Chains A and B, each alone.
Chain A
Amino acid sequence: AQSVTQLGSHVSVSEGALVLLRCNYSSSVPPYLFWYVQYPNQGLQLLLKYTSAATLVKGINGFEAEFKKSETSFHLTKPSAHMSDAAEYFCAVSDLHQGGKLIFGQGTELSVKP
């Protein structure tokens, strides 16, 4: 069965510092992976997705993620945090047995200190 694990339910960084949010997946076949962001009092919005075309995926708002098969990881990074990045971030994997269905991680709340 496929699953996603996000390490750290809360991450706090200073403005201008590197953002690193960790995601590990479990899948018996090459997965499709996603990062979504949820700003306060809003629904989820797609940041980026991995569909096997390139291992380094660039998304919106300066975020990127690298697919590493050997580590079964898809960590999300941003070189320099901005106050507006404060939100909850979800990693997800596509369920290959039921097309279109996503399996989400527990979420990581990112705080950005001035």
Chain B
Amino acid sequence: DVKVTQSSRYLVKRTGEKVFLECVQDMDHENMFWYRQDPGLGLRLIYFSYDVKMKEKGDIPEGYSVSREKKERFSLILESASTNQTSMYLCASSSSGAPYNEQFFGPGTRLTVL
């Protein structure tokens, strides 16, 4: 059974803290994605990666950074968390080669910044 796992389901942090969200996939996928999900806004792409050590900005990269040192792992970093980053964060992965390849999603991390 294919799997994308995220390190935490729920996370509570304080303003100004550095926050790490981890995502691991076991499907040997080249592509990995970080989304933010907010009511009424759907999913918005923060960053994505096509290969190890490669990253591309998505639609809303401000306030975030990413790291991909190994193929199976893609980390999202909030350098200094702010209350407007309270949200649901979803990680996804897909294989490369065709633009219609399915993205597989993790269960999400609900982050609250106080």
**Chain A interface secondary structure, helix, strand, loop or mixed?**
loop
Closest chain A residue to B93 by CB distance?
Answer: A100
Smallest CB–CB gap between B95 and chain A, Å?
8
Instruction: Determine if B107 and A42 form an interchain contact, defined as CB atoms under 8 angstroms apart.
Output: yes
A96: chain B residues at CB < 8 Å are: 99
Query: When the two chains form their complex, are residues B40 and A94 in contact, meaning their CB atoms are under 8 A apart?
Result: no
Chain B interface: which of A68-76, A77-85, A102-110?
A: A102-110
The interface stretch among B41-49, B60-68, B70-78 is B41-49
Chain A residues positioned under 8 Å from B58 (CB to CB): 101
| B105 neighbours in A (Cβ, 8 Å) | 36, 43-45
Kindly state whether residue B102 has any CB partner on chain A within 8 Å.
yes
Are B40 and A101 interface neighbours, CB within 8 A? no
- Is A44's CB under 8 angstroms from B90's CB? yes
Residues of B within 8 A of A6 (CB): 42
Residues of A near any B CB (own CB < 8 A): 6, 9, 32, 34, 36, 41-46, 49, 51, 90, 94-96, 98-102, 104-107
Judge whether A104 and B102 touch: CB under 8 Å.
Answer: no
Q: Please report the C-alpha to C-alpha distance between residue A12 and residue B114 in the assembled complex, in whole angstroms.
A: 34
Across the interface, do A100 and B96 meet the contact criterion of CB distance under 8 Å?
yes
User: Mind listing 5 A-B residue pairs with CB under 8 Å?
Assistant: A32-B100, A44-B90, A44-B92, A51-B100, A94-B100
Report the minimum CB–CB distance from B85 to chain A (whole Å): 19
- Tell me which residues across on chain B come within 8 A of A99, comparing CB atoms: 96, 98-99
Residues from chain B with a CB closer than 8 A to the CB of A41 are: 107-108
Q: Are B31 and A100 in contact (CB under 8 A)?
A: yes
A36→B45 CA distance, assembly (Å): 16
Contact: A105 with B42, CB < 8 Å? yes
Question: Which listed residue (A45, A46, A94) contacts B99, Cβ 8 A?
Answer: A94
| Alpha-carbon distance between A16 and B66 when the two chains are bound, in angstroms | 45
Does A9 lie within 8 Å of B48, measured CB to CB? no
- In the bound complex, what is the Cα–Cα distance between A32 and B42 (angstroms)? 19
Interface pair A101/B96, CB less than 8 Å apart: no
